[in-house]
Amino acid sequence: MATLQVPLRGHAGGAPTTKAVILVGGPSRGTRFRPLSLDLPKPLFEVAGHSIIDHCFSAITKIPEIQEVFIIGYYDETVFRDFIKDAARDHPHITIKYLREYQALGTAGGLYHFRDAILKGRPDRFFVLNADVCCSFPLQSMLRLFEEKDAEAVILGTRVPDEAATNFGCIVSDAHSKRVLHYVEKPESRISNLINCGVYLFATETIFPSIRSAMKRRADRPRLVSYPSSDALDSYHVPRSGDEEEKTEVIRLEQDILSDLADNRQFFVLETKDFWRQIKTAGSAVPANALYLMKAWQSQSEELAKPSANILPPVFIHPTATVDPTAKLGPNVSIGPRVTIGAGVRIKEAIVLEDVEVRHDACILYSIIGWSSRIGAWARVEGTPTPVREHSTSVVKNGVKVQSITILGKECSVGDEVRVQNCVCLPFKDLRRDVANEVIM
């Protein structure tokens, strides 16, 4: 049985050391990101010209003291190979490794399984970032609060509209001291509109013993703990004898650890006033794209297209894309590699992925166009705008809940003059007539 080595904090009088973990999940997760995740693991999907995981990683690289980053998940070893190669080339002072769980162990179970790797070199603390969130990752401010309060854990929180709060982990905190008093994952009734952003900073000497205690509690009463997460429902099964061990290894920060930390630990919340969204459904990539483009625009990023009469910022155009000068793009548009955009095209609030062809005078609004798709002349592909404050990507049309963002999977084709409205279209479909509010299988 492996022993748990717990380092002393601020060891040998030196500066505290900090690592970071990005939790990426695995192929059984991200099902709500279909049809886009059928062709690419969600963390590698590009918004605002960078993969979702790259947005997390680049926030980590802004903290100079972090020299080791782990990506923990249960995707195949090859999935993040190119990302890691590029990241290591661009940031030679950072070691970045993929640690693969042999099966889904849960957001805390994965950390615990790889505790020896995380604890190597005796770091004092480490960040944990859920890869499926889009935010400005104010890691420096979290570190500051951690030090100011001599904390054992800091969680990033944000306010959401009251009616949305119960879809998230809710935090009750002391407004003055910022101490977390109470944490409930998706409560049945409203307890607070301050919610968990999925970004944490943990003291190593606190978090691993907390996970171990939760595992022990779990082992002591295995039959009471068989709740599946929303994504895990697909694979959840009725226990047979011998299954207990497998099931009891799933330990989640949200359900099993955070409420305990709130009860008896130095646990604080940093409330961000900056943007935050989850990236769960495929449609949620469109607001995430807009928010990251806006951030790049505010920081005067050189990567964005220069504004002009036909470029309404912020717009990202990959250098290998060809855009006719009469096409009007923006705001909040990302154009991928080798895309060709014809004359008179209009694109707004949209992501156009690699190798797409958009023929002349087509219009694309509130949509994602999948890899190698083809949009005909005068065609119209459109979703419905949702209010900026909304944390949902569905709308009700004719009494039916449909996706507000239109999504075309890989290699779809939309005929000339065809109109596609609020549809999710699986890969390889040929749309030759107008469609609205449908999932096209």
By CB under 6 A, name the binding residues for ligand GTP. Answer: 23-25, 29, 72-74, 101, 104-107, 110, 130-132, 198, 229-231, 254, 280
d(CA 436, CA 398): 11
Q: Which is nearer to ligand GTP, 95 or 230 (CB)?
A: 230
Find the helix or strand (DSSP H, E) in which 356 lies.
none
Q: Which is nearer to ligand GTP, 11 or 97 (CB)?
A: 97
Tokens of 367: 């949509």
Measured CA to CA in angstroms, residue 210 lies from 6, 7, 154, 261, 263 at distances of: 12, 15, 15, 8, 12
**Shortest CB 25 distance to ligand GTP, Å:** 2
**Shortest CB 73 distance to ligand GTP, Å:** 4
Q: Which is nearer to ligand GTP, 75 or 371 (CB)?
A: 75
**Shortest CB 403 distance to ligand GTP, Å:** 17
Give the number of residues written for the chain. 441
How far is residue 60 CA from its own chain's centroid?
15
49 Ramachandran zone, left/alpha/beta (phi>0; psi -120 to 50) = left
Measured CA to CA in angstroms, residue 434 lies from 313, 358, 366, 417 at distances of: 31, 17, 17, 9
Q: Which is nearer to ligand GTP, 21 or 311 (CB)?
A: 21
**Shortest CB 37 distance to ligand GTP, Å:** 11
Q: Which is nearer to ligand GTP, 234 or 263 (CB)?
A: 234
Query: How many other C-beta atoms lie within 10 A of the C-beta of residue 39?
Result: 16
Q: Which is nearer to ligand GTP, 22 or 420 (CB)?
A: 22
Question: What secondary structure does DSSP assign to 261-300, as a single string?
Answer: HHHHS-EEEEEP-S-EEE--SGGGHHHHHHHHHHHHHHTT
**Shortest CB 431 distance to ligand GTP, Å:** 30
292 in Cβ contact with 134 (< 8 Å): yes
**Shortest CB 17 distance to ligand GTP, Å:** 23
**Shortest CB 28 distance to ligand GTP, Å:** 9
Angle between helices 81-90 and 52-61 (to 10 degrees): 30
**Shortest CB 182 distance to ligand GTP, Å:** 19
Q: Which is nearer to ligand GTP, 53 or 270 (CB)?
A: 53
Q: Which is nearer to ligand GTP, 110 or 314 (CB)?
A: 110
Query: How many other C-beta atoms lie within 10 A of the C-beta of residue 346?
Result: 16
Which residue number places its CB atom closest to ligand GTP?
Answer: 25
Cα-based angle 197, 114, 81 (whole degrees, multiple of 5): 80
